[in-house]
Amino acid sequence: MSFKLNLPWAALWLTAVCTTACTTSPMSPATPDAADALRWNPARFETQQLSVNGQTVTVRAFENIVYVRQPVDTTYQVMNVYVPEAYFHGQAVGGYTARTAPIFLPNNVGGYMPAKPGTAQPAAQGPNAGKLSTIAVALSKGYVVASPGARGRPTKDANGVYTGKAPAAIVDLKAAVRWLRFNDAALPGDAEKIIANGTSAGGALSALLGASGNHTDYASHLAALGAADARDDIFAVSAYCPITNLEHADAAYEWQFQGVNDYRKIEISMLDFNMQRKEVAGTLNAAQMDVSNALAPGFPVYVNGLNLRSASGQALTLDAAGNGPFKDAVAAQLMASAQRALDAGTDLSAATWLRISNAQVTGIDFAAYVHAIGRMKQPPAFDDLALASGENQLFGTAHMDTQHFTAYSAAHHSGTAAGGSSADPQTVRMMNAMAYLGAPGARNAPHWRVRHGSADRDTALAVPFILATTLQQQGKTVDFALPWNVPHSGDYDLDALFSWMAAVATQPR
């Protein structure tokens, strides 16, 4: 539990600049404090009134805090911090106090694109337009909320130099965590109870934040930004459909989708700071089928090298054809998902690939399931041979937009994109949560919740399954599920998410 300095707060809060109107207009980036630009300024806030399920919640909004001393991009290296007003009056919310409230740390990253911090207001546009924000719900339950922005794959500075290539986004999130710890004594909320949340690329970054706590691999990047000199390990991770383990995701994808030749892919772009998604359909050509056939056999080799075991101790391996206890365990997760849906009264008659008798899910035809959900990506799903994927762009450099990050795609480079060079393996590793689980020098978060919808085709089911199984094997508390028929998305089960958060918040570190 962290030490809190209580007395000076009251005096400072009396000088608050705004105490009434609810406003949604963002503030300009904070003016650096002469003593230390990273010191939280309790006087720089606006009051916001949030309507959460019929309840009015009053919060202090500390928006656009630049969380490093030498930012390279103050559009994204900023954080919004929200604190329930009650904590400034010695009151409790949801059983928490200013001293004990966990800090909910959601990021808005999607597609490894740059992301602005989240706000407590409903989104103006995008898939969640008009919906109650997860941040507002967290505040109504007594969490302090800190939502960091982060640089992303196309981000450039005024000279046209790329500033958001890997590992920029994770370095930014770590710097934000360090800011919270640096300010822990004064800022309401317990920086020893930070719970990260994110979806897809944002889920991968949450997981990576949870896995790579305090690892020195990131030290020089953090020092270059003037990040606070504080720890960056966190307490818990909520990751929705994490697009992680990119080095092995191509093989995993073909292990699952080999033989499914029609695809419906989503093209991601940015428009006015918002991510746009457009669906494009097609059929794999013969060369792409060859790529699928070349990649799929690499997956059993990878899995068998992980020495994964089920909770009952069974070795989760695969034979050369990709069958075996590992696949059975993934299928069992799907069956458990279907059983939960059935128990909740969902009509599963359209899922002809399930065997159901006497209201029990007794079997699954995995190949038929895969055909039913359909392929989204062409092989290689992530490291595109012509460097056209978002992940190719993630692994570019200051002066090069795209690079390969797997040996296979580098060796089979094609297309018109110049070069076809490969990212430095250390940078690739620094984007993969798997690389830091159990690694010497990394403090892994003890509590994890991982969700990947059963209808999600953005990465193979094996990717979150391997993450969750590795965590379980290493003694972490893991709540893992493949919610029934849920597509690639996040924050769709807030009651369950917040129940999990409340339960883990009572646990020790």
Q: CB of residue 355 vs ligand DHB: minimum separation in angstroms?
A: 31
Nearer to ligand DHB, 71 or 148 (CB): 148
Nearest distance in Å: CB 243, ligand DHB:
4
Binding mask 374-413 for ligand DHB (x = CB under 6 A): ----------------x-----------------------
Residue type present at position 140: S
- In the bound complex, what is the minimum distance in angstroms from residue 245's beta carbon to ligand DHB? 12
84 beta partners: 59
Inter-CA distances, 274 with 16, 156, 211, 333, 429, Å: 33, 17, 28, 34, 28
Interaction of residue 110 with ligand DHB, rule CB under 6 A: yes
Residue 111 contacts ligand DHB per CB under 6 A? yes
**In degrees to the nearest 10, what's the CA dihedral of 387, 388, 393, 399?**
60
> 44 vs 449, which CB is nearer to ligand DHB?
449
CB pairs under 8 A, 24+ apart, for 167-170?
A: 167/218, 167/221, 167/427, 167/430, 167/431, 168/221, 169/109, 169/112, 169/201, 169/205, 170/205, 170/208, 170/209, 170/212, 170/218, 170/430, 170/431
Minimum distance, C-beta of residue 207 to ligand DHB, in the bound complex (Å): 13
Find residue 197's DSSP bridge partners. Answer: 106, 238
* DSSP letter assigned to residue 129: B
Which lies closer to ligand DHB via its Cβ, residue 163 or residue 389?
389
What is the total residue count of the chain?
A: 509
Look at residues 239, 138, 202, 207 and name the one whose alpha carbon lies nearest to residue 453: 239
Nearest distance in Å: CB 177, ligand DHB: 21
Task: Indicate whether 118 belongs to the interface with ligand DHB (CB under 6 A).
Answer: no
Cα angle, residue 178 at apex, residues 470 and 142 outer, rounded to 5°: 80
Nearer to ligand DHB among residue 119 and residue 459 (C-beta): 459
CB of 112 to ligand DHB, least distance (A): 6
Question: What is the smallest separation between the CB atom of 390 and ligand DHB, expressed in angstroms?
Answer: 5
- Nearer residue to ligand DHB within complex by CB, 201 or 342: 201
Shortest Å, Cβ 467 to ligand DHB: 15
Instruction: Find out whether the peptide bond into 380 is cis, omega within 30 degrees of 0.
Output: yes
- If DSSP codes are grouped into helix, strand and coil, which group holds residue 306? helix
Binding residues for ligand DHB, rule CB under 6 A, total 8
Phi-psi region of 313 (alpha: psi -120 to 50; beta: other; left: phi over 0): left
Closer Cβ to ligand DHB, 140 or 200, answer by number:
200
d(CA 199, CA 134): 12
Binding mask 68-107 for ligand DHB (x = CB under 6 A): ----------------------------------------
Alpha carbon distance 60, 87 (integer Å): 10
**316 versus 370: smaller Cβ distance to ligand DHB:** 370
> Which residue number, 85 or 254, has a Cβ lying nearer to ligand DHB?
254
201 in contact with ligand DHB (CB under 6 A): yes
Q: What's the closest the beta carbon of residue 494 comes to ligand DHB, in angstroms?
A: 19
Q: Shortest distance, CB of residue 5 to ligand DHB, whole angstroms?
A: 39
Tell me the H-state helices in 44-167: 134-140
Task: Give the pairing of strands 447-451 and 477-481.
Answer: parallel
The minimum distance between CB 263 and ligand DHB, in angstroms, equals: 12
**What is the 3 state secondary structure string of 201-248?**
HHHHHHHHHHHCECCHHHHHHHHHHCCCCCCCCCCEEEEECCCCCHHH
Judged by CB under 6 A, does residue 458 bind ligand DHB? Answer: yes
* Interface positions, 268-307, toward ligand DHB (CB under 6 A): none
Phi, psi of 277 (to 5 degrees): -125, 130
Rule CB under 6 A: choose which of 77, 119, 140, 200 binds ligand DHB: 200
Q: Residue 71 or 490: which CB sits closer to ligand DHB?
A: 490
Is the Cβ of residue 419 or residue 487 nearer to ligand DHB in the bound state?
Answer: 487
Looking at beta carbons, which residue is closest to ligand DHB?
Answer: 200
Antiparallel, parallel or unpaired: β 46-52 and 55-66:
antiparallel
Contacting range for ligand DHB; rule: CB under 6 A; set: 4-12, 46-54, 108-116, 311-319: 108-116
The structure tokens listed for 476 are 């972490």
Six token digits for residue 486? 């849920």
Please give the residues from 235 up to 254 whose contact with ligand DHB meets the rule CB under 6 A. Answer: 243
Binding site for ligand DHB (CB under 6 A): 110-112, 200-201, 243, 390, 458
